[in-house]
Structure 1
Amino acid sequence: MRFQITDTVSWVGKIDWELQKFHGEEYSTFKGSSYNSYLIQDEKTVLIDTVYGPFGKEFIENLENEIDLGSIDYVIANHAEVDHSGALPELMRRIPNVPIYCTQQATKSLKGYYHQDWNFQVVKTGDTLSLGERTLNFISAPMLHWPDSMFTYLDKENMLFSNDAFGHHLASDTMFNDLVDQDELFKECIKYYANILTPFSKMVTKKINEIVGFGLPVDFILPSHGVIWRDDPLQIVHKYLEWADDYQENQITIIYDTMWNSTRDMAEAIARGIRSVCPDGVIKILHTGQRDKNDIITEVFRSKLVVAGCSTINKGILSSMAGILEMIHGLGFKGKKGAAFGSYGWSGESTDILTKSLGNAGFEMIGEGIKATWKPDQEAIRKCEAYGRQLGKEV
């Protein structure tokens, strides 16, 4: 499939309508996704990125229906991860001597994945490549989101090929941001940022400010997943700057897991207490064992306070909560407060574990948490409501 963007630039990627998981089992993609590859035809012909390996043969066949592969003068690898580079082995078997322009780190990654010593041409910020009437400008973008990442800018067309930055997992055959449901689009964008780019927020801000300082006009932002930004393309850049600035909304999220609903009863009582003193805020209660983990992380990202609760099991916590806490720790959220609660029968370590874990993840903890034994009675429920009121007043 080929989709013409301008007279010179076309999309030649793959829409994956069936994709449900990404990064192994780590990221949910319930709206599908796309692997965006772009073809530039000036005096020189350039292919920017490819597609995920399982679609490599189909990609090459479709590309051959559009152009003579021998006419490709340059390949640009903005990022070496296999969802972008997976079709390179199949492509390079056909055009083995064509140079691949990428960062120094990308050469290491591509060699590590494919064990091939292709004709790598290392570029860095400020380097250019003439295509005839148009010129490519390379911008190194380490840790957005891998050390090897870079952006490529095409003058005359004013296009920024941003790879994983400004992307999202959303399958659509309309291809442009102004032609898809806006709520759905931005829901996928914030989920993408929260789960993937949060740890690199300082670098996001620095790199965006650097690019803005170049004074390059931008009429299109072309990411490697999802739709192309053509209508007010800088709106997603402004969102990234907002999200990178220790983002939070007027939201409190309670996450919990439970075996026999005792911890659930505590969660609901704490929420009632918070609501009594925070009538205008958003309160969400999420069962970590039943809700999608990436959706939970997105709500944590939105929140100013996260309250975690769990039953005690084998002097520890339930596995779903442990997994979420590991994700929270790795993402390095900033500027958020935390609190903990839990139920138990005879040992009761869970609340202390949650308090310590959130604290180690950088949350400003409010107190040492609250515990209840067995099935909370009315007195215990009243204490949970009072605890909720305390938390609400703190934020």
Structure 2
Amino acid sequence: MSFKINDTVTWVGKIDWELKKFHGDEYSTHKGSSYNSYLIKDEKTVLMDTVWGPFTNEFITNLKKEVDIHKIDYIVMNHSEVDHSGALVELMKEIPNTPIYCTKAGVRILKGYYHQDWNFVEVKTGDTLDLGTHKLTFIEAAMLHWPDTMFTYLSEENILFSNDGFGQHYASEFMYNDKVDQSELYQEALKYYANILTPFSKQVLKKIEEILSLNLQIDMICPSHGIIWRDNPIQIVNKYLQWANEYAENQITIVYDSMWDSTRRMAECIAEGITSNNKDVTVKIVNSAKSDKNDTIVEIFRSKTVLIGSSTINNGILSSTASIIEMIKGFKFKGKKGAGFGSYGWSGESVKIITEELEKSGIKTINAGIKELWNPDEDALNRCREFGKSIVEEL
């Protein structure tokens, strides 16, 4: 499959309808994904990125229908991760001397993955490549989301090839932002940002400001996953500016795991207390053992406050709760508050552990949390409701 974006650029990637997990098992892809590769034809011909390795043969076969691959003058690798570079090994067997344009870090990573000394050309921000009528301008974008990442701008067509930036794991036969369900699109774009780019929000803000300062006319943004932004493409740039700037909606998320429902009952009564004190705040209750972890991170990303609950087990906390806290640590959320809660039978360390771990994660703890012994009675549940009311005061 391929389709013409315009007379100069053709999409030659792969839509992966069946993808359910990404980055190993770290990222859930409920809507599949795509690996977007682009062919640019001018006096010179450029291949922009490739596809994931399992689709190599299909990719090369389809590419040959669009161009004599021996007439590809340059390959541009905006990012070296295997979902973008996986087809390189077989492709380079056929066109071994074709120059590969990438950042200095890109050379190092591609050599690390494939152990090949290809014809690398290192580029940095501001470097250009003349194609004839058009010109490519390279913009380094380190840590969006790998050290080697860069964007490439195509003059005349005013297209920004942004690789993982502004992408989504979202499979669609329509391929353009104005052709797909808008709520689905933004849900997947937000999930992508929350779960992949959040740790690098400082760099996101800096890079977007840098790109905007170049005063480039951007008529289209072509990422390497998901749909292409052609209708008001700057809308996703503006969303990234919001998401990168300590984003939070008027929401509190309660994440818990429970052995015999005692901590669950606490979570529900804490939620009752919150809503009784502020009916405008959105409250989400998530069982970390039964919910998709990436969807849980989205809810935390949206929240001003996150409450984490766990029963005490073996002087510690339940594994699903520990996993979510470990993810929170890695995402380095800014500007969020939190607290712990949980039930216990005899030792009761869970709330203290949760509080300490939240503080290590950069979450400002509101208080020392609340714990209740065994199966909470009505007095205990009322204390949970009061705890919920007190949380609202900190919003």
Tell me by how many angstroms 1:367 deviates: 0.9
Residues 237-386 of structure 1: pairs in structure 2 closer than 5 A: 237-386=237-386
Q: d(CA) in 1 for partners of 2:192 and 2:317?
A: 28
Q: Structure 1 runs of 4+ off > 6 angstroms?
A: none
Q: Say which SS state the counterpart of residue 136 (structure 1) adopts.
A: strand
Residues 1-395 of structure 1: pairs in structure 2 closer than 5 A: 1-395=1-395
Count, aligned residues? 395
User: What letter is aligned with 1:352?
Assistant: K
User: What letter is aligned with 1:347?
Assistant: S
Q: d(CA) in 2 for partners of 1:209 and 1:239?
A: 13
Tell me by how many angstroms 1:366 deviates: 1.0
Tell me by how many angstroms 1:379 deviates: 0.8
User: What letter is aligned with 1:54?
Assistant: P
Q: d(CA) in 1 for partners of 2:192 and 2:34?
A: 14
User: What letter is aligned with 2:290?
Assistant: Q
Supply the RMSD in Å over aligned alpha carbons: 0.5
Q: Say which SS state the counterpart of residue 275 (structure 1) adopts.
A: helix
User: What letter is aligned with 1:42?
Assistant: D
Tell me by how many angstroms 1:159 deviates: 0.3
User: What letter is aligned with 2:246?
Assistant: D
Q: Say which SS state the counterpart of residue 151 (structure 2) adopts.
A: strand
Tell me by how many angstroms 1:70 deviates: 0.5
Q: d(CA) in 1 for partners of 2:67 and 2:362?
A: 52
Tell me by how many angstroms 1:10 deviates: 0.7
Tell me by how many angstroms 1:156 deviates: 0.2
Q: d(CA) in 2 for partners of 1:279 and 1:154?
A: 49
User: What letter is aligned with 2:338?
Assistant: G
Q: d(CA) in 1 for partners of 2:237 and 2:17?
A: 26
Tell me by how many angstroms 1:26 deviates: 0.2
Q: Say which SS state the counterpart of residue 238 (structure 2) adopts.
A: helix
Q: Say which SS state the counterpart of residue 31 (structure 2) adopts.
A: coil
User: What letter is aligned with 1:179?
Assistant: K
Identity of aligned residues (%): 64
Tell me by how many angstroms 1:364 deviates: 1.2
Q: d(CA) in 1 for partners of 2:358 and 2:14?
A: 40
User: What letter is aligned with 2:292?
Assistant: D
Give per-residue Cα distances to partners, 1:57-81, cap 9 Å, x unaligned. Answer: 1101111122111010000000000
Q: Say which SS state the counterpart of residue 393 (structure 2) adopts.
A: helix
Q: Say which SS state the counterpart of residue 162 (structure 1) adopts.
A: strand
Tell me by how many angstroms 1:50 deviates: 0.1
Q: d(CA) in 2 for partners of 1:382 and 1:214?
A: 58
Q: d(CA) in 1 for partners of 2:30 and 2:170?
A: 8
Tell me by how many angstroms 1:142 deviates: 0.2
**TM-score using structure 2 length:** 1.00
User: What letter is aligned with 1:10?
Assistant: T
User: What letter is aligned with 1:262?
Assistant: S
Q: d(CA) in 2 for partners of 1:180 and 1:323?
A: 34
Q: Say which SS state the counterpart of residue 329 (structure 1) adopts.
A: helix
Give per-residue Cα distances to partners, 1:264-298, cap 9 Å, x unaligned. Answer: 00000000001111111100000000000000000
Q: d(CA) in 1 for partners of 2:28 and 2:146?
A: 20
Q: d(CA) in 2 for partners of 1:50 and 1:174?
A: 20
Q: d(CA) in 2 for partners of 1:281 and 1:341?
A: 20
Q: Say which SS state the counterpart of residue 394 (structure 1) adopts.
A: coil
User: What letter is aligned with 1:168?
Assistant: Q
Q: d(CA) in 2 for partners of 1:207 and 1:391?
A: 36
Give per-residue Cα distances to partners, 1:206-258, cap 9 Å, x unaligned. Answer: 10010111111000000000000000000000000000000000000000000
Q: d(CA) in 1 for partners of 2:58 and 2:115?
A: 22
